[in-house]
Structure 1
Amino acid sequence: MNSRTITILRELMAARSPLTSDYLASINQVTSRTTREDVKQLDVTLSHNGAVVESIRGTGYKLHIKDDQKFRKFLQEVLEEEAGEAPLVPDLPEERTAYLIRRLLLTDDYLKLDDLAEEMHISKSTIQNDLKNAKKILANYDIHLESRPNYGLRATGSELKLRFCMAEYIFDRSEEAGQSLLNAQLTSLAKEDLTVIWKIIMNQIKENGLTLSDIAINNLFIHLAIAYQRIKNGYHVSLYNKDMDDILDKKEYQVAKKIVGRVEESFQVAFPQTEVAYIAIHLLGTKMLYQTGMEIDQVMEDDIYQVVMSILERIEEKLALGIRQDQELIISLGLHLKPAINRYKYGMNIRNPMLEDIKTNYPLAFEAGLIAGLVLEEYTDAKIDENEIGYLALHIGAAIERQKLKTGPKRCLVVCASGMGSAQLLFYKLKSQFGEKLDVVGTTEYYRLNQASFKDIDFIVSSIPIPEQLPVPVIEVNTILGDADLKKIETYVADPKQSIADYFKQDLIFLQKDFASKQEVLEFLADTLTEKKLVDETFLAAVEEREAVAPTAFGNLVAVPHPITPQSNQTFLAFCTLKRAIDWSGKRVQFVCLLSVEKESTADLQSMYDLLGRVIDDPAIVQRLLKARDYEAFIDVLPK
């Protein structure tokens, strides 16, 4: 089986409903005709292995498994073939890019484009395009391609960054720690040597009472294996003297010395001091585990606490999630950031195997993670990448879920300066207006506000301006509540249930457009929305700023671009379908949904994401929406 048919098989296995040849063609970047031939070939193969591909007229293809045991055995053979000694020739652009990066990283000599093109069975013009993508990726690691006439290309950069890049592109980190982590096709290390390194790490962790996460152990193992191989070949990491001094003072350096000592004894190699320091950086970059019952001052230095609170303030300011006072979130973020800041300081990479799932299933938490990442960049003066943002989003997502579990009415405190009489008037007006939906926990004068506890308070209703920054929102109203005042409070009290049709407006749906690039799509949507006075001229720049932090293509041919912070005076969605799929920062996209959230909105954004998710997560729905040629056909596809 080639990589296209393997991709088709994976898509069919994952699909809840039939998939069209158009969809499968878009995924593999081939014509529908080629896809139909690939499906026929796949069906012949599967028919001998316990399954068939059913073709359902007018609907698409569906996988039907007849003999579960036989099919499972076949899948095992496919996986073994993929990891076998004769790797598949890469077909897709991203596969070819990764292949080029591996080849460039693993040779000390120059590589000629003609030789690479022949090796990969592609044209010279194709490999030149792939090389552009490879250069962009390598540039993220400060690795550059040195060109020499008549010789070819060679990757050059600091030994530290070369290793980081190798860890990402040569080793498979998706498997269980310590199991087949190194691809024998790409390294001279024997399996027995890897087993020795693994045992050394595990023994030292146990002896020194360290608590490391699985991901941290994984990273340490991979990098120690790389270090051993590179030292054998005469390469060494170098660190600035000041950085060395900082590391030598740490307890983790002593543990690193023990680990390296055992490796030196086992393999008869000598690690210089800088290499020991490098292993210590990994131990400094491990993730501590949250222990229930700890007080914040027991687990967090003041500077880390300030960073955590700055992050939560910024998230509250931009997204109004109501999680700023979540003590479990404060502690878990603090425990995560203490070692993570060491990683940022030394430019260390960390892989997040859950990243795509987090982006797809917890988009609101991921947006909050992006905001957290921007605050961290200000604090550390280092670039925070998507992998780290994904880990921050997990902590934030847990807090969002905890917030949802809170039951009962919203709770507010009334503040008034003109005497208890007017405060009581406000109190009873609120009770009569909102009944069981709002629990008014009490009234207080402004000067006593600093004595009030904000625990379990959702917001404050005040008849006077409150200049201080409080941990909960303040709604300023008139002493005699008018309709406008009540409407303001209603937005905090209500739990609106939105229909999906409310977000699909006819004048914001643009079908079968013939754009050729991501930029064309964004410019068209931004210009159209500006003409309709829904946004201003700064909107496009805000969307592009968000794309620069992390592209918004979610797979399934869908992208959901949006500004990095709310820009508009109302919440809306704008849709654009394309005649042909385009490249969207490395992913194929044909269905674009631009999202804009109202500034200072207190609405439950997760509900909108849930509604949208029902549409864009289903390949069959997306394919039918892509075929729609008018508004009625488009709306008719939507889940009722």
Structure 2
Amino acid sequence: MSLDERSTFLLTKLVNATDLVTVDHVTEQLGISKRTVHYDLKKINDWLEDNKLPIIQTQQGMGYYLSEQTKENVPYLMKELKEWQYHYSQTERVTLIGIELLTNDKPTFMKDFMERTKVSRGTASKDLKIVIRLLEDEELDLQFDRATGYIVEGKEENKRRLLSRFLTEVLTNKQLTEMMNVVYPLVKNEEEHIYTNLLPIKQIIINVEPILKVELTDDTIQVLAIQLVVLLQRLKGEHRIQLDPDEKEAVSSTREYEAATRISEELESQFKLSLSTDEICFITMHLLGSRVNYSEVSAVGNLEIEKLREVVSEIVHEFQIYACILFEQRKELEEALFLHLKPTYYRLKYNVPITNELTASVQQEYPDVFSITKRAVWPVELMTSKKLPDDEIAYLAMHFGAWMQKEELPGIKVGKAIIVCEKGIGTSNILKGQLEKLLTNVEVVGTVSRRQFINNQYDIDYVFSTSPIQHESVPVLTVSPILTQQDKEKILHWIEEIQSTPNDSKVPTSDIVMELVKKHGTIRDEEALRNELNHLFDPTPTTLSIERFERPMLNDLLHEETIQFATHTTDWKEAIKTASLPLLAKEQISSSYIDAMIKNVEDLGPYVVIAPGIAIPHARPEEGVNTVGMSLLRLDKTVPFSDKDKHQVKLLIVLAAVDNETHLKALAQLSDLLSEQENLDIIYNSTEKDDIIKLVSKYSN
């Protein structure tokens, strides 16, 4: 039994999947019917049975997956399949063509691209056009000559940057390396794969962490190793880099330069190559832009670093204004954000590329946080004179999202979990926040890197890991860093299965508590107490349910009862009190919340004035909010929140938030509404509430 092209593609997806593969996903990706998918799955199962492997598994109609035994053995069997049976995606074809162009010193022609990607001339030509656009983005030019073929012209620094991106795509794609045995100069020299050189190079990088006084993320070490592979390959071809003298002087005094020097000495020793000062500075720039799990570096820095700390504070301030929240532990947030923004700054400064595979997930699952972050990062864009790409914004949004979820959750914890994450602080913290909200009876004791987990012992009951990992005695579940609804259901089912498994060797926790109560007190109804203790410590599937947070639309909050008109108020305090009356009347807030809003302005200044003429007074949820709400007050005459012209207010929208997140959708819709001057004209000139209500409805979708 052999596999055709489509079945081979589907099998590779199943082998590489860290989550369930759904039929809907396959039909959408391949453009085939569900019936065809089921036919292909049967064909794969027949092939697996022929090879004496466990067939495809299914989980309660949620999706398909392969056993670990099958995943482990399939790649070796698939190497025996003919190469034409694997269908490269367009992204993969573009990657292969890009590598061919940037590594082949011999003449390269269209037929070489066709042979490499196994597609027609027309398809290869379309793929080449995409490659050309990527080259242009890096200020590189593709020249063609009938005798010499295609040649990439431009700065060596830019070539390496693009080549690193392409090679990262290949060396993190099992389908392109292990399974299909793709051969090209940068991955294979004679009979030895340069892929195998990544392991010793990774160790070289790990060895300089004490000099850097940081722990680099696992992902960062992988990417740095790939960039050093690129450097070695280019040096072997006598392609050397030349940096600006001012840039070299700027980086040569850093701790990272010392580490880069040590790395270069190791590379020279192992690979018999000579690295110039320019190459050492090139490595330094990449180290400066590397993401870390933690840092021992003191708070004191040069003028550039101190300016960056000011920028971090400004970004947090802007985020609080746009999100209408107040972070309780702001200094801790700023320190965590600085730890991430420092390498972001150097990546922007030295054009070090970064790819965030979670960007799309962040935009989909946390659209409001992403949007607010994008508006709040202008201080660092001003400092660098560069726009932050979405991949960088997504990382910052993950930091804010994690901090917004950071709160003490009530309840007794009956289990301990740890998160193993190779992607850094922001990623692990946002996953921690999601799990804490989902599993309220499980204490997430911390987040560690893969290396920390392997080298240490932890007293835990569950392990959640963002990459496959094994543990001898503790159950491990591989999860996505950004949890979808399906991911959450999968986690709950997994926890239920573990908690419902009897363990005769352990005395039930409820029995222990019962004996302690008997020893120190009187029990009126022993059976009722035992039932409640069993329910608390041995939760049934009904107690493990996903809490769904409904985020109200703008028109759910602003309507006939919460909109007011007034001629004027005596001062800004009276304006806040008047604007709050609808929420007070409906008992959505208490009078203490009004006092808290006024005190915030007295203590912090007129920060609630978000734009000329517009103020959004608010305080923390615990200061008197009962349910989420908004109320709008339009004044005919402005009321001053300070002596400055920009603090003269005609429109007040009081916000009562129950947490850091529930109000964000309505707030985003309000922000869109207020950003248009014609909408403000309608609000300021309207004589009927209906005019504003229609406007609110227009933006509530």
The TM-score by the shorter chain falls in which range?
0.5 to 0.7
Matches within 5 A, 1:208-287: 209-287=213-291
- Does 2:235 match 1:73? no
> Structure 1, residues 459-507: CA drift from partner, whole Å, max 9, x if none?
99999431479xxx99978xxxxxxx8xx54x53689999xxx9xxxxx
> Structure 1, residues 305-337: CA drift from partner, whole Å, max 9, x if none?
332244345545555465598433322222211
CA distance in 2, matches of 1:433, 1:62: 47
| TM-score after normalising by structure 2 | 0.55
Query: Kindly, what percent of the aligned residue pairs are identical?
Result: 19
Contact 1:90 1:96 in 2 (8 A): no
Matches within 5 A, 1:4-83: 4-9=6-11, 10=13, 19=23, 24-29=26-31, 38-48=40-50, 49-51=53-55, 71-80=67-76
Gap change, CA 1:536 and 1:3, over 3 Å in 2? farther
Matches within 5 A, 1:620-635: none
Which of 153, 164, 168 is the equivalent residue of 2:165?
168
CA distance in 2, matches of 1:400, 1:211: 25
Contact 2:211 2:255 in 1 (8 A): no
CA distance in 1, matches of 2:19, 2:287: 41
Q: Which runs of 5+ in 1 are unaligned?
A: 408-415, 478-484, 503-532, 540-567, 573-596, 599-607, 609-640
Q: How much has 1:340 moved relative to structure 2?
A: 1.9
RMSD: 5.5
Contact 2:214 2:294 in 1 (8 A): no
Amino acid at match of 1:465: P
Contact 1:4 1:91 in 2 (8 A): no
Gap change, CA 1:197 and 1:290, over 3 Å in 2? closer
Q: Which runs of 5+ in 2 are unaligned?
A: 411-436, 438-567, 609-617, 624-630, 667-672, 680-693
Contact 2:208 2:262 in 1 (8 A): yes
Which of 415, 437, 440 is the equivalent residue of 2:589?
437
Match of 2:102 in 1: 105
Contact 1:117 1:124 in 2 (8 A): yes
Contact 1:256 1:276 in 2 (8 A): yes
Matches within 5 A, 1:203-602: 203-206=207-210, 209-287=213-291, 301-316=305-320, 320=324, 326-372=330-376, 375-402=379-406, 433=585, 435=587, 437-438=589-590, 440=592, 450-451=602-603, 457-458=619-620, 464-467=639-642, 488-489=653-654, 492=656, 569-570=695-696
Gap change, CA 1:369 and 1:190, over 3 Å in 2? same
Q: How much has 1:209 moved relative to structure 2?
A: 3.9
Gap change, CA 1:108 and 1:294, over 3 Å in 2? closer
CA distance in 2, matches of 1:497, 1:207: 40
- Does 2:137 match 1:135? no
> Which SS does the other structure have where 1:153 is aligned?
strand
Contact 1:28 1:92 in 2 (8 A): no
CA distance in 2, matches of 1:426, 1:205: 58
> Structure 1, residues 134-181: CA drift from partner, whole Å, max 9, x if none?
2223333333321113543233332222222222222456499xx99x
Contact 1:237 1:274 in 2 (8 A): yes
Gap change, CA 1:33 and 1:217, over 3 Å in 2? closer
CA distance in 1, matches of 2:251, 2:323: 38
Amino acid at match of 2:97: L
CA distance in 2, matches of 1:292, 1:438: 45
| TM-score after normalising by structure 1 | 0.60
> Structure 1, residues 332-357: CA drift from partner, whole Å, max 9, x if none?
22221123211111100123343344
Contact 2:589 2:656 in 1 (8 A): no
> Which 10-residue stretch deviates more, 281-290 or 93-102?
281-290
CA distance in 2, matches of 1:78, 1:476: 68
Q: How much has 1:201 moved relative to structure 2?
A: 2.5
Q: How much has 1:239 moved relative to structure 2?
A: 0.8
Amino acid at match of 2:28: S
Match of 1:120 in 2: 117
> Which SS does the other structure have where 2:157 is aligned?
helix
Q: How much has 1:133 moved relative to structure 2?
A: 1.9
> Which SS does the other structure have where 2:208 is aligned?
helix
Which of 143, 146, 151 is the equivalent residue of 1:149?
146
CA distance in 1, matches of 2:228, 2:310: 34
> Structure 1, residues 406-444: CA drift from partner, whole Å, max 9, x if none?
99xxxxxxxx99599979986996896254733526759
Gap change, CA 1:219 and 1:99, over 3 Å in 2? closer
Match of 2:419 in 1: none
> Which SS does the other structure have where 1:74 is aligned?
helix
